[in-house]
Amino acid sequence: MGLNYNRCAAPPSNMTMPPDSAVPLSYRDAGVDIDAGDALVERIKPLARRTMRPEVLTGIGGFGALVEVSSRYRQPVLVSGTDGVGTKLRLAFRLGRHDTVGIDLVAMSVNDVLVQGAEPLFFLDYFACGRLDVDMAAQVIGGVARGCELAGCALIGGETAEMPDSYPEGEYDLAGFAVGVVERDAIITGEQIGVGDVVLGLASSGPHSNGYSLIRRIVARAGDDLSVMVGGRTLADALIEPTRIYVKPVLALRTQITLKGLAHITGGGLLENVPRVLPAGVKAVLDASSWPRPTVFDWLQQAGAVDATEMHRVFNCGIGMVLVVAAADASAALAALRSSGETAFEIGRIEARRGDEAQTEVR
């Protein structure tokens, strides 16, 4: 993991210095512990090694990582995505659980890259804090490495920034990005989606990493008790559950069936994300009774008195990835997805759109 500690410039010779200016200062005195950063790098190296791919030419520790595009691609197109974890981090801080938000971080980018039909190649992360807690940071980056394993991409580097006075004690921020590759003639654009096509949905693991500003308000209104039982487990467990990564089963499916469109259901829910892959003349009509909504969404809607439309405009409501296929391919696609371990449903149809109708309806 790259470590970039900015050095302080020496003061000009004519600057008036305070009386204790003769006391030597170190970077540690200023709040930056280089030794802790080095210790974190050593903890991360074996985690990163488990994610390596043959295209990666250099390991952790250099100024930049080298990755070649495999010769098996005739016309390779690189696809990139970047994201963070959002205010779900507030929940991690409160619970003291830092081993899954790294999975969320990877999922947000690799699932986006997947939508264009790309195979994620590598991932880099950015971890920023006020004071580096090596054990905590190692848990976070361990989650990042686990996410990369689930996605089949390499964790090739990143940045750990220790910035005194910038973050409260025990808190940090996360960001990351993924790069994938797809053949030019295999890019999934959604342009071929037409009336009569079938909409499939892959089950989510919960709210994933979206809507947590609203979730936190709802929890506070309901008494701020994360120990209440929701669907057989605590609310805390239901809300911290990491985002599902769909890369491997969807890439396997596209070798068997033509995928006309994919939509990653993130912030904006079903109503805002599905239209992003639809041509102007069609709409997706989804049947909310065609998939079981996880109990945590029922609890959120009831506790927050959230309108049904708002629920589908903010949350995934149980569907984390949407696929559009020809009607003739729907049964085979469902069978293949289920055999790969996914929980998949036929959730709707593509219909003609008239005038300025919404491009996604949930009925």
Q: What confidence score (pLDDT) does residue 2 get?
A: 45
Q: What confidence score (pLDDT) does residue 21 get?
A: 62
Q: What confidence score (pLDDT) does residue 11 get?
A: 40
**What is the per-residue pLDDT across 27-65, written as a single tens digit (0 to 9) for each?**
787 777 788 878 888 887 888 888 999 999 986 667 888
**What is the per-residue pLDDT across 267-318, written as a single tens digit (0 to 9) for each?**
999 999 999 999 999 999 999 999 999 999 999 999 999 999 999 999 999 9
Alpha-carbon span 117 to 351, nearest angstrom: 24
Q: From the CB of residue 235, how many other CB atoms can be counted at a distance below 10 Å? A: 21
Tokens of 132: 């580096």
Q: What confidence score (pLDDT) does residue 26 get?
A: 78
Q: What confidence score (pLDDT) does residue 16 get?
A: 54
pLDDT averaged over the chain? 92
pLDDT of 90 above 80: yes
pLDDT of 262 above 70: yes
Amino acid present at 290: S
Q: Which residue has the tokens 């890259």?
A: 113
**What is the per-residue pLDDT across 220-230, written as a single tens digit (0 to 9) for each?**
999 999 999 99
pLDDT of 68 above 80: yes
pLDDT of 102 above 70: yes
- The residue among 340 and 1 whose pLDDT is bigger is 340
pTM, 2 dp: 0.91
Edge-to-edge strand ranges of the sheet holding 198-203: 261-264, 319-325, 198-203, 344-352, 282-286, 360-362
Q: In the structure, what pLDDT confidence band is assigned to residue 22 with cuts at 50, 70 and 90?
A: low
Alpha-carbon span 97 to 237, nearest angstrom: 10
Q: Are strands 344-352 and 198-203 parallel, antiparallel or unpaired?
A: antiparallel
Q: What confidence score (pLDDT) does residue 48 get?
A: 83
Alpha-carbon span 195 to 216, nearest angstrom: 40
CB-count exposure of residue 93 (10 Å: 0-12, 13-18, 19+): middle
* Domains of the chain (ranges, CATH numbers): 30-186 (3.30.1330.10), 198-362 (3.90.650.10)
